[in-house]
Structure 1
Amino acid sequence: MSDLKTQFEAAVANSKKLSERPDNSTLLKMYGLYKQATVGDNAEKKPGFSDMVGRAKWDARNGFKGTSGDDAMQQYVDLIQSLS
């Protein structure tokens, strides 16, 4: 397992142990980076207007479209470290 993957998995575990809940925009950034790192580019259809949470998540994930998995992992690790 690569060092980056190990750091990423540790950051995912640490994200659940943060002393303070991050604001919504930070949570959406975490979600987008996590999905980009683990799944890749968003290929799902954008949810309708009535699904506010789904649209916010879709937008957050789509914002990282084209980012490589390794870059997304590193950004996620850096973000969690900045919150700890």
Structure 2
Amino acid sequence: MCQVEFEMACAAIKQLKAPVSDQEKLLVYSYYKQATQGDCNIPAPPATDLKAKAKWEAWNVNKGMSKMDAMRIYIAKVEELKKNEAG
């Protein structure tokens, strides 16, 4: 059940037309990575690569979270973004 909803949320987020803040993008990214790959398994990028460092830090915060929990939170966040877009 959760896997199907997760895949639908992954498709839905690509359809959003309203702008999404960088902070929200990082949050969604971090739960997506946790849900699909588990704990962050790559070394931290250099501090000079700001974008990669922000993405790594966002994902690494979720260390220890189960893939199912990350999927549930991802789905909820996408639903929230869809509601905000609908007004």
Give the counterpart of 2:8 among 10, 15, 18: 10
Shift of 1:18: 0.9
- Which residue number in structure 2 is paired with residue 50 of structure 1? 48
**Aligned residue runs from structure 1 range 22-33, under 5 A:** 22-33=20-31
Provide the aligned length of Structure 1 versus Structure 2. Answer: 82
**What 5-or-longer segments of structure 1 have no aligned partner?**
none
- 4+ residue segments displaced more than 3 Å: none
Q: State the alpha-carbon separation in 2 of the partners of residues 58 and 26 from structure 1.
A: 15
Identity of matched residues, %: 37
Residue 59 (structure 1) aligned to one of 57, 68, 74: 57
SS for the counterpart of 1:66 is coil
Deviations 1:22-44 (A, max 9, x none): 10000000110000000000021
TM-score (norm 2): 0.91
The aligned counterpart of 2:78 is 80
Describe the superposition over 1:1-54 as per-residue Cα deviations: whole angstroms up to 9, x where unpaired: xx1000000000000011212100000001100000000000211111111000
Take 2:42 and 2:53, find their aligned partners in 1: how far apart are those partners?
11
The structure with the largest helix share of the pair is 2
RMSD: 0.6
> Normalising to structure 1: TM-score of the pair?
0.95
One-letter code of the match for 2:20?
P
Secondary structure at the residue paired with 1:16?
A: helix
